[in-house]
A and B are shown apart, each in its own frame.
Chain A
Amino acid sequence: MAVCIAVIAKENYPLYIRSTPTENELKFHYMVHTSLDVVDEKISAMGKALVDQRELYLGLLYPTEDYKVYGYVTNSKVKFVMVVDSSNTALRDNEIRSMFRKLHNSYTDVMCNPFYNPGDRIQSRWALLPVSASSPGGPYFLCPIQSRWALLPVSVSSPGGPYFLCPIQSRWALLLCPIQSRAFDNMVTSMMIQVC
């Protein structure tokens, strides 16, 4: 178990950073930020070779007295940084790699979410609730329900409906949403939206 994970944009601002325990949040922010030095170094050192080999895992960035900081970079130069407790000897390189891969998958799910604007900070609800694109009848996306969406739906009767038309962010003009639950309140809380 990592004590801190961070997703950092290409421009080096944090898209998502979360640590446990939370009282030491600031320390981890500093630690992750400082580790970007080494990430940058590793990326520029590996350079083209990195891209060719598709090796995204950067390995141990640096150890501190109590923690080890690991790095990972996606093809779009989004960086993942993970901090683990030094005393946790159960976490070996393979475990770290697989954790990064899971994190990468989650990030990809977030990116697939039509409600997410690339470059925006990732809200924890989305990061915590990435819904697999491979579920039957998918891809489905769980979206944060906002009142204006709930107020605006227009019913369109078509096969497989009822569908709702929702205005969303500028990139997505329309969205057709089959309502999974009958009651309106339930719809608001557990609406699954299928992008057609």
Chain B
Amino acid sequence: MDASEEPLPPVIYTMENKPIVTCAGDQNLFTSVYPTLSQQLPREPMEWRRSYGRAPKMIHLESNFVQFKEELLPKEGNKALLTFPFLHIYWTECCDTEVYKATVKDDLTKWQNVLKAHSSVDWLIVIVENDAKKKNKTNILPRTSIVDKIRNDFCNKQSDRCVVLSDPLKDSSRTQESWNAFLTKLRTLLLMSFTKNLGKFEDDMRTLREKRTEPGWSFCEYFMVQVSVPPGALDCWVFLSCLEVLQRIEGCCDRAQIDSNIAHTVGLWSYATEKLKSLGYLCGLVSEKGPNSEDLNRTVDLLAGLGAERPETANTAQSPYKKLKEALSSVEAFEKHYLDLSHATIEMYTSIGRIRSAKFVGKDLAEFYMRKKAPQKAEIYLQGALKNYLAEGWALPITHTRKQLAECQKHLGQIENYLQTSSLLASDHHLTEEERKHFCQEILDFASQPSDNPGHKIVLPMQSFAQLRDLHFDPSNAVVHVGGVLCIEITMYSQMPVPVHVEQIVVNVHFSIEKNSYRKTAEWLTKHKTSNGIINFPPETAPFPVSQNSLPALELYEMFERSPSDNSLNTTGIICRNVHMLLRRQESSSSLEMPSGVALEEGAHLLRCSHVTLEPGANQITFRTQAKEPGTYTLRQLCASVGSVWFVLPHIYPIVQYDVYSQEPQLHVEPLADSLLAGIPQKVKFTVTTGHYTIKNGDSLQLSNAEAMLILCQAESRAMVYSNTREQSSDAALRIQSSDKVTSISLPVAPAYHVIEFELEVLSLPSAPALGGESDMLGMAEPHRKHKDKQKTGHCMVTTDHKVSIDCPWSIYSTVIALTFSVPFRTTHALLSSGTRKYVQVCVQNLSELDFQLSDSYLVDTSDSTDLQLVPLNTQSQQPIYSKQSVFFVWELKWTEEPPPSLHCRFSVGFSPASEEQLSISLKPYTYEFKVENFFTLYNVKAEIFPPSGMEYCRTGSLCSLEVLITRLSDLLEVDKDEALTESDEHFSTKLMYEVVDNSSNWAVCGKSCGVISMPVAARATHRVHMEVMPLFAGYLPLPDVRLFKYLPHHSAHSSQLDADSWIENDSLSVDKHGDDQPDSSSLKSRGSVHSACSSEHKGLPMPRLQALPAGQVFNSSSGTQVLVIPSQDDHVLEVSVT
């Protein structure tokens, strides 16, 4: 029993790193039980509920059982986990109260005191019962009493700390049951203790770690705690495993197989690289200064933890184990191995097209270089990765990589690059406000540095600094005259997080003179340019990838250049407006980080705005410029300067232009209506474009009066003054003074580049087509009248041009303007006969769109023959004449003695527009002059058709007789005295030819249809002609025409022998038949000239000539009569053809 007295060596039962359990009390007893115990303990798994939310685990418990010694108990502050005893067990076989009281109780008390002294609460008392022993003892107490005693003495309230193990070495069910209960208890207690102490250990470690900033903190102390769970060990293991696997693969494959399997192995390479990197960082191998002593300690511990290399690789030159040992041995070796691995990994990724992965490893490499203070090597990897992220539009990686790049560029001293990256970061919304402000401040700090090279500029793209949002012109059509003021207001959206003071904002303007372009004339510009004046600039979607198919579409426009003078086409073509967007290098669109060679254009024309503070967000900036040279100004670049830093927008797109023009003063006179009508007051608009001339007080327009055109002065004439952009600026009364020769219009005072508009009423005096100036017309007595009358065919109005010469104050030359007036009426006249009674008919046709009121129509004989009377048959004195309608007037001619051979008439009628109530002036009447000749009836022709004898009606196909009776109505008159007149025995006769023509083909004339007769020139002389005609149709048929011609024989000898019929029939084309197509051309004077022309045409031909008698001289008394023809009876043939 006195086990403690025997200096037995501590029992150590194999197995390392198992929780330690001490055994006190009866060592022999424990030794006997131990084999069963160590075998049974791990058999059943236990659920281990862990702290800090770690998942529960089923574990098989094993323990190191050692003999209890006081030294084993941990001293206060000992943190070692593995040497810590988790449970203390006291073994006893005692069943005798006496023995218990004598020794066991005392021993137990000592044991308990030692434990208490070390504040160890994890203990257990085991009482082993042996039936054999029980039987040997007679003075035995109930066994429970010993257990109860022990429980009473030691386990107050913790009765479970005392267990009974019955007959442990027997093979009975009771024994088994007892073992199970014991083992369960043991496991539970062990686990409880383990959990409790592990938690305490972790807490201690955390406390220690948190204390590291305190003075006197010892890393070694920390490490000694820490190293019992070494963090680098796992990394080492992963690294070694990866390389082992890869080496195995390499060992059993040839090169080609390895290459084809890169996709599967590259992951391991990458993993190994990553682990080596983290080991490097852990061991302080990745720093400028190299590892410190702590790093070295850690490294030593790690290497020690690796243990010895396995024998199978120990003798090879290369092995993962050796590689790792070497890599961790020195900074240089680590760098070599890490770079080798990284490069191999990048190369492999690249070879199988995993560019993104390659870039990602490259970024790790860049980080390594940055740590090693080798930014020049890091840059290329950062740029490569950034380019990739930009191309695919990954905002967060872009921001992160840019931040790294900024640091790299700062270290490299790449000022421009760094500033540009800073500007991009300052405008990056993925960064915090503080970070953005920091990068913005970096730019501002640099900009405010006094430069050692004054005038040196750092040019950066504007996009990230501020964006041009819109632009607005005032005047809104972006057209301004020379000397005028143009305002350009732009909205700039500042991307910076803080207000930035900008020394100046400059717009570079390109100037071009396009003198020959029609579009650039002042007229075109002021009228045609679009006038909304706001140009919006599309926001550039910054981190959005530019894929090949999302390039902007071609903006093609047709271009026409026209001649300014006659508007004829000079050039045409197609232009592409966004060529700079399409043709820019693909490269530059993706690598935004490079200062993309923004070129500052040096131009003479600049718009400038100084000392502007750009607040974050939208800012309005106004440029003001006074236009100087005429031409087109294109806004090219926008620059904002902050100290020596210039932010430049290299192309302003869409194209923004403004035009400056100069203009000569001009006068335009144009009718208000489509056409001016003669005879009534008409409005004419005067437009004075002042151009560069300023209208002063007293300037006036001097109009030299046109004779037939009156300028009607109204009291209330007003002139409007507009600016060239059609904004009304004033209006003023117009003073008009008229004298005989000159009308003077005083112009209102107007500044340059304005427009003065006013209206005047003019009146052109109307007239009919002049009849060769035989007589002067009313009020048109001026001798040098210039009427250019154009009588056009159809219903076109006769026009009259009036030219007015105007003297303008800005020029020594006169402006001649021509106004064309249209005569609203067309007048025709006709002579009507009824036997010997004569009538004159005048037809007035209104060709205009207006309605008129006609009044006071007169027809007078201007030759004033006394015995002639013109008796009007018109009843109404007032008569409306509507647009496009005609009105007829008729007078009867009456005479008492022999009528005059010709009659000069003048028709006049008063007119006024029907719509207007009262005109300010009285209008002159409309006049029309004409002449009537040969109006006295000489012959009466009467034709009659009789049915065949014995028949009541004419029948188709049967011959009927046509009787023509020609009667002379007067004795010899003046008009008869011509070549056809022959005299014999004081009797006069004249030769006439008659002709029967049926143009409507109703009749067939049988036999001769014409003949020459000698007609005595005496009143009531008659001639009768008989002919046969045959009706071709049934019905009421008009009689065939009987025409009468004067037969003028040729003077040569043989001319009379010609048979008139023969030449008419044989050579009808040459017959000089006048007047067939002029039924009412009785008296126009022009007839004479036609006649003479015709006669000269036939000069030399021995032919008789025919002259139609003027219509007024022949009266056909049977015109209009009809004869009834009935169809013949056998006329029944009906032909029907069906196809």
Contact = CB atoms under 8 A, between A and B. Distances in A.
B545 interface: yes
A37 B357 contact: yes
A37 B355 contact: yes
A93 interface: no
Q: Which of B355, B356, B357, B392 neighbours the largest number of chain A CB atoms within 10 Å of its CB?
A: B356
A29 B356 contact: no
A29 B267 contact: no
Contacts of B544: 13
B507 to A, nearest CB: 31
Given A29-B397, A62-B267, A37 B353 contact: yes
B345 to A, nearest CB: 13
Contacts of A34: 356-357, 360
A14 B395 CA distance: 9
B392 A13 contact: yes
Given A13-B544, A30-B360, A25 B354 contact: no
Contacts of A37: 349, 353-357
Contacts of B353: 37, 40-41
B263 A14 contact: no
Interface residues of A, number: 16
B392 A33 contact: yes
Interface string A55-74: 00000001000000000000
A12 B355 contact: no
A117 to B, nearest CB: 12
Contacts of B352: 41
B400 interface: yes
Given A11-B547, A62-B267, A30 B354 contact: no
A114 to B, nearest CB: 22
B592 to A, nearest CB: 15
A46 to B, nearest CB: 14
Q: Which of B389, B394, B397 neighbours the largest number of chain A CB atoms within 10 Å of its CB?
A: B394
Nearest to A25: B396
A29 B547 CA distance: 21
A12 B397 contact: no
Given A11-B392, A38-B354, A40-B353, A33 B397 contact: yes
Contacts of A40: 353
Interface string B786-798: 0000000000000
Contacts of B400: 26
Contacts of A12: 392-393, 545
Contacts of B392: 11-13, 33, 36
Nearest to A39: B356
Contacts of B395: 14
B354 A33 contact: no
A41 B354 contact: yes
A13 B545 contact: yes
Nearest to A62: B267
A40 B353 CA distance: 9
Contacts of B354: 37-38, 41
A30 B267 CA distance: 16
A68 to B, nearest CB: 13
B876 to A, nearest CB: 61
B276 to A, nearest CB: 14
Interface of A is mostly: helix
A34 B397 CA distance: 11
Contacts of A29: 394, 396-397
Contacts of B397: 26, 29-30, 33
Interface in B467-481: none
B539 to A, nearest CB: 14
A30 B400 CA distance: 10
B273 to A, nearest CB: 13
A33 B545 contact: no
B394 A33 contact: yes
Contact of B545 (A11, A30, A41): A11
B393 A36 contact: no
A151 B395 CA distance: 34
A33 B400 CA distance: 14
Q: Which of A25, A30, A38 neighbours the largest number of chain B CB atoms within 10 Å of its CB?
A: A30
A26 B349 CA distance: 22
B1118 to A, nearest CB: 80
Q: Which of A13, A38, A40 neighbours the largest number of chain B CB atoms within 10 Å of its CB?
A: A13
Contacts of B389: 33
B356 A36 contact: yes
A37 B355 CA distance: 7
Interface string A4-36: 000000011110000000000110011001101
Contacts of A36: 356, 392
A4 to B, nearest CB: 12
A29 B385 CA distance: 14
A34 B267 CA distance: 12
Nearest to A36: B356
A37 B393 CA distance: 15
Given A26-B400, A33-B389, A41-B263, A14 B357 contact: no
A40 B349 CA distance: 13
Contacts of B393: 11-14
A41 B360 CA distance: 17
Given A11-B392, A12-B545, A33 B267 contact: no
Nearest to A31: B360
Contact of A13 (B349, B356, B394): B394
Interface string A111-143: 000000000000000000000000000000000
Nearest to B391: A12
A11 B396 CA distance: 17
A36 B360 CA distance: 12
Contacts of A33: 356, 360, 389, 392, 394, 397
A14 B545 contact: no
A34 B388 CA distance: 11
B1100 to A, nearest CB: 87
B396 A26 contact: yes
Contacts of A14: 393-395
Contacts of A13: 392-394, 544-545
Contacts of A38: 354
A20 to B, nearest CB: 15
Interface string B528-550: 00000000000000001101000
Contacts of B396: 25-26, 29
Interface string B264-285: 0001000000000000000000
A8 to B, nearest CB: 9
Interface in B343-397: 349, 352-357, 360, 389, 392-397
A34 B360 CA distance: 7
Contacts of A41: 263, 352-354
Interface string A69-98: 000000000000000000000000000000
Interface string B208-243: 000000000000000000000000000000000000
B952 to A, nearest CB: 84
Interface string B89-100: 000000000000
Contacts of B357: 34, 37
Contacts of B547: 11
A148 to B, nearest CB: 16
A34 B356 CA distance: 5
A40 B267 CA distance: 16
Contacts of A26: 396-397, 400
A61 to B, nearest CB: 11
16 contacts: A11-B392, A11-B545, A11-B547, A12-B545, A13-B544, A14-B394, A14-B395, A25-B396, A29-B394, A33-B360, A34-B356, A34-B357, A36-B392, A37-B356, A40-B353, A62-B267
Interface of B: 263, 267, 349, 352-357, 360, 389, 392-397, 400, 544-545, 547
Given A14-B394, A34-B360, 11 more contacts: A11-B393, A12-B393, A13-B394, A13-B544, A26-B397, A26-B400, A29-B396, A30-B397, A33-B394, A34-B356, A37-B356
Ranked 3 nearest A-B pairs via Cβ:
A13-B393, A37-B354, A29-B396
